[in-house]
C-alpha cells in the first residue's frame, strides 16, 4: 500500500480546493477503499475511538476556533464536542455489536424442488462517501460528525466538503482526524477534506464517489441531489434539507399549562439563536387561548445573539418580513424588519389564522432560519389537521396534550408527516442513541430511509452481497459456520448466535 | 371506509388506461393507505396467503393464458406460479416474525447530561407503491410478484403497471388478487392495475405514489428513474435494469472440467431462450483452453424457441450482429444475422479477446437479451481483472475454480461488482429465501440497497419513525413495554425478546 501524506488530502490553509486537489482526495479515498472494506470490525472501532480521543484532547483549541468563526457560545460548543465524540464512540459500539452486518444464512436444501444452494448475505461498504458539513453544528454535523462517523464505521473512506462558515475549524479538525486515523493504523487516504462550492459540486459528480451525506438548505440540497441523480451512474444522496417541525397544543393543554408551555417554547425556538433544523417553526394553538401574549412575555426575556454567518443574518429579517408582508402574519413580539447590520438577531413571535396558512402555504410554511416562530390559531380539529397536512414532511412533530385525552388519531397523523414524534418536550436537542432517527418525508430529507443520527445511520453506506455455495475460507468472518464474531445471525429463518 | 369496487381499480379488459383511471387507482390506493398501515401483522400475513391460495387455485387457467401470451413452456410457467405463491407465503412469514419492524427502544436516562428522553423507533410503510412488471417473468416479477408482495407485506397499497407482453394475464391475475384481498378483509382500493406506457409514466409522477419498484430494460428504467428523481417531491425508484453476469473460469478449472462446465453453461445461457436477467452474458475463459469448441458442441444440442415478444425477437439478432460487426466478436456457434420472422431464436456463442473488450466495452459489454453468450479469452490475471472491472455492476458474478486455488482476491473483486457471488453453479435460477439478494451496483439496479427478492425486499417500502416519551396507549404494539408481539427488539443497546 502506498502511503498518502496527510498534506495531500487535507489543505494546509483556508482556500478553495483546486480541481486537481478534489481529484486527488477522491483518488486517495478510492485507493483506501479495499483496505477499509476488509479491515476487521475491532480495528475500525478503534479508529473511531482514536478520532474521538484526539478531538477530546484538542477540545479547548477547537472550541476557541469554532466560537470565533460561528459566534456560538463556548458552553454550547463544548457540549457539542462531547456529543460528537460520544457519537463516534456509539458507532464504534455499533460496529463491535456486529448486527449492523445483517448476516443471514440459508443452508443448502438439496432435497427442495428446485434444489436450493447455500446462500449467505452480508452488508458491505458502498465505497467512498462525500460528506457536506453544516453551518449550524460545527462539530456534530461537520468534519467529524455523524455522516463521517457512520461512513467510516462500515468501511467507507470519506471526503468532506467543509462549510464556508467555519473553514479554519474544518481544516484544523480534518488534520486532527487524518492524523488520528493514521496513527491508529487506518489506510492512507481514508479521509480527506476539500473546500469551496465548486469543489463540492465536483465531489458529487466524481465517478469515484459512491454516496453523499448532506446537511443544509433545501435549495442547495436539491441542487446537489439533482446532480447526484443525473450522473451517468446515479448515487444515493442522503440530504437533510430543512424542517418546519410543527407543534400542536390541544385546547386542554393550553388551558391547563399556558405558562409552562410558553416558557418551554420560548426556550426552544430561541435556542442557538433559532439556528437548529429541529427548531419549532410552526405552533398550532387553540384560537382565543391567550397563548400569544404568554409566549411574547416569555420570549421577550430571551436575548438574541449573533448569527452564524453574515448571509444567514441577512436572510433572517427578510424571511420574517415575507411572513408578515406576503403571508399576512401579525407581529406579536419583535421587529418585523430588524436591521441586521451587526449580524445578530432577536426573538420574533408571529401569529396567523389556520385558514390563512392553508391558503398561502408557499409563504407561511417556508422555513425561516433564526429565532422566529409562527403561532397558528386553529378553531377546530379540521383546521388543525388541514394545517398539519399542509406542513407536510418534517424532521419532528410535537404534541402537547393532557393525560387522558384520546390522541391516537392525531399521533398517527403526526407520524405520517415526521420522522420523530414527541409527546411533551421540545424538538431541539437530538439525543444520539441506537433508536434515534433524524429524518422525515420530503422535504425534511431526500431519502425517506435516511437518518443522519442514530445507530442505523450506517446502513446508508452499505449494500448487500449474497454468497452462493462459497467455501468457508472465502466467506467474511461474519458468515462462517463457526460464527467467529459471535454476532446475531438469521439462520434458516431463525435469529441465533449459535454456530452452524 | 368507503368500498371501492374491484372494477374501479382493475380494468375489465385489455386496453390502455385513460388518465382518469390512473388517477382513480392512485386515489384508491391513497384511500387505503391508513387502514393498510394500521392493520395488524397477522391480518396482513393472512392477506398475502389469501392471494397465494387464489393463484394456486387458478394455476392451470393462468398458466394457459401466460403460455399463449409469453410463448414460455407450460412446465416453466407452472413452476413460476409455485415460486410466486411461495414468495407471497415467505413474506407472510417475514411479517409474522416481526423483526422487519426493527423495533429499537432506548429508555429514558434522566440522570444523563443532557437528560435523555425515552426513544422508541419502528419502521412504518411509505405509502402507495407503483410496481412495473417484467416481460420475462409473467408471475414472479409481475402483477403478484416480489415487488407487490413486499409492498403489501409492510402495509403499502400497490398500483401495478401491467406489462404489454402479457396484458390478458395481467388483467386476470389482478382481478384474482383484488378479489382475494377483498375477501380476506383488506382495505378497499389496496390493489389496482393500469395498462399502457403513458399510464406508467403518469403513475411515477402521481403525487400519491411514494415509491416505485421496476424490473425491465436499462433505457426504460433510466427514463422512469429520471422521472421519479425530478418530481417536486422525489421518490425512491427501485429498478432492476439488466445485467451482464460475468462468469470466470480459472485455467485449472478449464483444464480439469471443460466438458462439465461447457454443458452447464450451455444449459444456463439457453434457459428460457436466454431471457433471464441472470443469464451469463460474458464468460471469461483462459485463452487457448479449447473451451470454445466444447461449448459450441454442447450448445448446439439445445433448441432455440419463440421469444417473449416480437420486439424482443427482432432485437436479438440485431444485438448479436452488433457484437460481431462493431465489436469484432467471432461467431463460434449460430448465425450472426438470424432471421427472426417467426419470433424465435437459436443459441449463439461468440468469442473475443480480452484486450478487445477493454477497448470497446460500449459495444461488447452491452446486454444482449436472448440465447447468446460471449466467451472472452484472457491470457493472464491482469487481463481477466481488467475485463471484470470493465463489466462493472451486475446482479451476479460466478467463479469456477478448483479446490485449493487461492481465490480470495478474485472473490473480493467479484463481490465489489455484483450483488450475488456464486462459487460453482450457474446464475440462472434465483432461490427465494431470507438471505437472497437480487441487486447490484449500477447499472444492475438503481439503488445499491435495492433487492427485489429475499426477505429484506420489504425494507424498500418502509421508513423509520421514532416516538419520544410517548404514552403506552399511543405506541405501536411492537414498541410497548410488555412486547405483546413477542418480537426481537434492541433495548438499551441489547437485543432481547423480554418485556421491559
Q: Across the interface, do A436 and B495 touch by the CB < 8 Å criterion?
A: no
pLDDT of residue B8: 76
Are the CB atoms for A24 and A9 separated by under 8 Å?
yes
The overall average pLDDT reported for chain A is 95
Class assignment of domain A247-423?
Answer: alpha beta
With a cut of 70, say whether residue A383 has pLDDT above it. Answer: yes
A464, A488, A500: best mutation site toward chain B, by most B Cβ within 10 Å?
A464
Spell out which residues of chain B touch residue A431, defining contact as CB-CB under 8 Å.
106, 114, 116-117, 119
CA distance A121 to chain B (A): 5
Q: Which of B277, B292, B298, B368 is catalytic?
A: B277
Across the A/B interface, how many CB contacts are shorter than 8 Å?
214
Confidence of residue A2 (pLDDT cuts 50, 70, 90): low
The per-residue pLDDT for range A420-472, each reduced to its tens digit, is 999 999 999 899 999 999 999 999 999 878 888 999 999 999 999 999 999 99
User: Which residues in chain A are closer than 8 Å to B467, comparing Cβ atoms?
Assistant: 415, 420-421, 423
pTM for this predicted structure: 0.96
Q: Which residues of A touch B474 (CB under 8 A)?
A: 407-408, 411, 423
Contact assignment for B106 to A411 by CB distance below 8 Å: no
**pLDDT tens-digit map of B98-143:** 999 999 999 999 999 889 999 999 999 999 999 999 999 999 999 9
Which residue from A435, A449, A459 is facing B104, i.e. has the nearest CB?
A435
Residue A330: the pLDDT is 97
Interface contact A435-B34, CB threshold 8 A: no
* Per-residue pLDDT at A340: 60
Query: Among B417, B435, B460, B497, which would you mutate to test the A interface (most chain A Cβ atoms within 10 Å of its Cβ)?
Result: B435
Q: Is it the case that residue B40 has pLDDT exceeding 80?
A: yes
HEC per residue, A337-395: CCCCCCCEECCEEEEEEHHHHHHCHHHHCCCCCCCEEEEEEECCHHHHHHHHHHHCCEE
| Catalytic residue annotation of A | 240, 277
Task: Tell if the CB–CB gap between A474 and B411 is shorter than 8 Å.
Answer: yes
- What architecture is the A6-241+448-461 domain classified under in CATH? 3-Layer(aba) Sandwich (3.40)
B179 is catalytic: no
Answer yes or no: do B34 and A412 touch at CB < 8 A: yes
- Ranking A33-47, A332-346, B54-68, B392-406 by mean pLDDT, the lowest is A332-346
Query: Cα distance from B218 to chain A (closest Cα, Å)?
Result: 12
pLDDT-based confidence at residue B3 (cuts at 50, 70, 90): low
Q: What is the ipTM metric for this complex? A: 0.96
Q: Do B436 and A119 touch (CB under 8 A)?
A: yes
Q: Which of B423, B465, B469 sits opposite A474 (nearest CB)?
A: B423
Q: Where in chain B is the domain with CATH 3.40.309.10?
A: 247-423
A-chain CB neighbours of B473 within 8 Å are 408
Name the residue in chain A with its Cα closest to that of B494: A97
Nearest Cα of chain A lies from the Cα of B310 at a distance, in angstroms, of: 30
- In this predicted structure, the answer to whether residue A210 has a pLDDT above a threshold of 90 is yes
Q: Which three cell numbers stand for residue A106?
A: 440459508
pLDDT at B339: 61
CA distances for A133 relative to A13, A174, A266, B403, angstroms: 18, 12, 28, 49
**pLDDT over 60 at B2, yes or no:** no
Residue of B nearest to A413 (CA): B34
pLDDT of A1 > 70? The answer is no
Interval B313-337 mean pLDDT = 92
pLDDT band per the 50, 70, 90 thresholds, residue B1: very low
Res A448: pLDDT: 73
**B341 or B468, higher pLDDT:** B468
pLDDT score recorded for residue A253: 98
Closest-CA residue to B74 (of A45, A447, B44, B82): B82
Question: What pLDDT is attached to residue B338?
Answer: 61
pLDDT in tens, B167-203: 999 999 999 999 999 999 999 999 999 999 999 999 9
CATH class in words for B6-241+447-462: alpha beta
Rounded Cα–Cα distance for residues B463 and B459 (Å): 8
Residue B345 backbone phi and psi in degrees, to 5: -145, 150
End-to-end CA distance of chain A: 36
Task: Give me the residue from B119, B236, B439 closest to A435, CB to CB.
Answer: B119
pLDDT above 90 covers a percentage of chain B that reads 93
Q: How confident is the model at residue B65 (pLDDT cuts 50, 70, 90)?
A: very high
CB-nearest partner of A466 from B99, B419, B488: B419
Closest-approach residue (CA) in chain B for A82: B113
Helix (H) or strand (E) holding A118: none
In percent, the amount of chain B with pLDDT more than 70 equals 98
B276 vs A contacts (CB less than 8 Å): none
Q: What is the rounded average pLDDT of the residues B440-463?
A: 92
pLDDT digits over B73-94, tens only? 999 999 999 999 999 999 999 9
Where do the CATH 3.40.605.10 domains begin and end in chain B? 6-241+447-462
Cβ distance B120 to A435 less than 8 Å, yes or no, reads: yes
**Model confidence band, residue B340 (pLDDT cutoffs 50, 70, 90):** low
pLDDT in tens, A324-364: 999 999 999 998 666 666 889 999 999 999 999 999 999 99
Do B424 and A469 count as a contact with CB atoms less than 8 A apart?
yes
pLDDT (0 to 100) of residue B451: 86
Ranges of CATH 3.40.605.10 domains, chain A: 6-241+448-461
Contacts of A433 in chain B (CB under 8 A): 106, 116, 119
Name which of A234, A435, A462 is nearest B105 (Cβ-Cβ): A435
Chain B closest-CA separation from residue A80 CA (Å): 11
pLDDT band at B335 (very low <50, low <70, confident <90, very high): confident
Of A449, A455, A464, the CB nearest to B437: A464
Q: What is the pLDDT of residues B258-307, one digit of tens each?
A: 999 999 999 999 999 999 999 999 999 999 999 999 999 999 999 899 99
Interface test with B, best of A113, A435, A446 (most B CBs within 10 A): A435
Of A120, A418, A473, the CB nearest to B435: A120
Say whether pLDDT at B449 is over 70: yes
Compute CA A400 distance to the chain's CA centroid, rounded to the nearest angstrom. 25
The least confident of A184-198, A205-219, B7-21 is B7-21
Amino acid at each position: 500500500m502506498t502511503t498518502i501524506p496527510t498534506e495531500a488530502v487535507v489543505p494546509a490553509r483556508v482556500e478553495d480546493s483546486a480541481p486537481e486537489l478534489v481529484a486527488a482526495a477522491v483518488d486517495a479515498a478510492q485507493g483506501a477503499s479495499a483496505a477499509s472494506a476488509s479491515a476487521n470490525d475491532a480495528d475500525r472501532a478503534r479508529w473511531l475511538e482514536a478520532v474521538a480521543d484526539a478531538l477530546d484532547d484538542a477540545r479547548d483549541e477547537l472550541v476557541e476556533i469554532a466560537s470565533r468563526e460561528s459566534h456560538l457560545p463556548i458552553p454550547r460548543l463544548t457540549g457539542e464536542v462531547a456529543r460528537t465524540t460520544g457519537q463516534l464512540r456509539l458507532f464504534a459500539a455499533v460496529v463491535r455489536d456486529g448486527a449492523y452486518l445483517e448476516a443471514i444464512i440459508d443452508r443448502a436444501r438439496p432435497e427442495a424442488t428446485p434444489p436450493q444452494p447455500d446462500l449467505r448475505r452480508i452488508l458491505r461498504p458502498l465505497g467512498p462517501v462525500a460528506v457536506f458539513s453544516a453551518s449550524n453544528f460545527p462539530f456534530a454535523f461537520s468534519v467529524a460528525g455523524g455522516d463521517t462517523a457512520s461512513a467510516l464505521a462500515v468501511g467507507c473512506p470519506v471526503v468532506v466538503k467543509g462549510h464556508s462558515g467555519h473553514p479554519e475549524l474544518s481544516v484544523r479538525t480534518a488534520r486532527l482526524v487524518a492524523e488520528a486515523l493514521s496513527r491508529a493504523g487506518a489506510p492512507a487516504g481514508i479521509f480527506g477534506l476539500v473546500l469551496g462550492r465548486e469543489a463540492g459540486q465536483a465531489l458529487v459528480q466524481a465517478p469515484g464517489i459512491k454516496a453523499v451525506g448532506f446537511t443544509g438548505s433545501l435549495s442547495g440540497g436539491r441542487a446537489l441531489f439533482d446532480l447526484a441523480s443525473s450522473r451517468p451512474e446515479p448515487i444515493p444522496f442522503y440530504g437533510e434539507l430543512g424542517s418546519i417541525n410543527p407543534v400542536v397544543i390541544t385546547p386542554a393543554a393550553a388551558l391547563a399549562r399556558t405558562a409552562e408551555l410558553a416558557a418551554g417554547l420560548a426556550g426552544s425556538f430561541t435556542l442557538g439563536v433559532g439556528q437548529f433544523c429541529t427548531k419549532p417553526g410552526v405552533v398550532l394553538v387553540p384560537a382565543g387561548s391567550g397563548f400569544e401574549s404568554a409566549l411574547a412575555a416569555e420570549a421577550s426575556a430571551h436575548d438574541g445573539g449573533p448569527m452564524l454567518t453574515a448571509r444567514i443574518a441577512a436572510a433572517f429579517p427578510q424571511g420574517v418580513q415575507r411572513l408578515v408582508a406576503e403571508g399576512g402574519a401579525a407581529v406579536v413580539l419583535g421587529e418585523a424588519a430588524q436591521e441586521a447590520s451587526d449580524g445578530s438577531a432577536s426573538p420574533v413571535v408571529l401569529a396567523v389564522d389556520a385558514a390563512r396558512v392553508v391558503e398561502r402555504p408557499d409563504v407561511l410554511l417556508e422555513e425561516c432560519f433564526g429565532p422566529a416562530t409562527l403561532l397558528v390559531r386553529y378553531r377546530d380539529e379540521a383546521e388543525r389537521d388541514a394545517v398539519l397536512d399542509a406542513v407536510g414532511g418534517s424532521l419532528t412533530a410535537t404534541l402537547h396534550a393532557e393525560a387522558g385525552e384520546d390522541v391516537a388519531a392525531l399521533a398517527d397523523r403526526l407520524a405520517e408527516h415526521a420522522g420523530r414524534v414527541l409527546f411533551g418536550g421540545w424538538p431541539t436537542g437530538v439525543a444520539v442513541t441506537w433508536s434515534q432517527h433524524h429524518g422525515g418525508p420530503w422535504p425534511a430529507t431526500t431519502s425517506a430511509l435516511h437518518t443522519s443520527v442514530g445507530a442505523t445511520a450506517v446502513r446508508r453506506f452499505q449494500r448487500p452481497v449474497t454468497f452462493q455455495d462459497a467455501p468457508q475460507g472465502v466467506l467474511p468472518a461474519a458468515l462462517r459456520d463457526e460464527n467467529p464474531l459471535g454476532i446475531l445471525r438469521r439462520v434458516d429463518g431463525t435469529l441465533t448466535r449459535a454456530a452452524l
